[in-house]
Amino acid sequence: MRRLRPAGRPLGRMAVRSTLRTHSAVDIREVLRGLPTATGYRVTVKPLRYRTAPHLQAFTFWDEPEMVLQVPEPFRPFRELVDLGADGTPIVLFRTRRDVIRFLYLHEFCHWWLYLTHGWGSSAEIACDRYAFANYRRLGPVRPPAQRGRGERAA
């Protein structure tokens, strides 16, 4: 049977780009310090020009390895509903661009990780929201999402 994707993590360093006026690529690396890295992927942080209210928006592209995180501009603190499934739907306050970048990166990293480990990643919104919500304000190192064995249930 032929594999469509290579086994394991892609090789290469995680490239970081930014077109935000307030954050250079070096600043973005500092914001992401302590978080797991998506090796072989490019993380691009762009401004999100919204019409009525700021909101969260990000994408992961599988065919060309890139995560695009969009930060609302002009930035002002905002609240967003985050679906945690059976754990509820808290209204999360995003006070800073740092909060937004870390939350979106962890959410997209979870999709990337599930794609690498299970072969699927685009259909796990609640799992990725839970992972990002649990870790985006954490000060120490953050581990990748825990893997479950066949037949194991999520906690």
* Intervals of the chain under pLDDT 70: 1-12, 121, 147-155
CA distances from 40 to 11, 49, 80 (A): 5, 28, 30
CA terminus-to-terminus distance, the chain: 34
pLDDT of residue 122: 74
Domains of the chain by residue range: 15-135
Q: Report pLDDT digits (tens) over 112-155.
A: 998 888 877 677 899 999 999 999 999 989 999 876 555 555 54
Residue with tokens 């967003």: 80
pTM of the model: 0.86
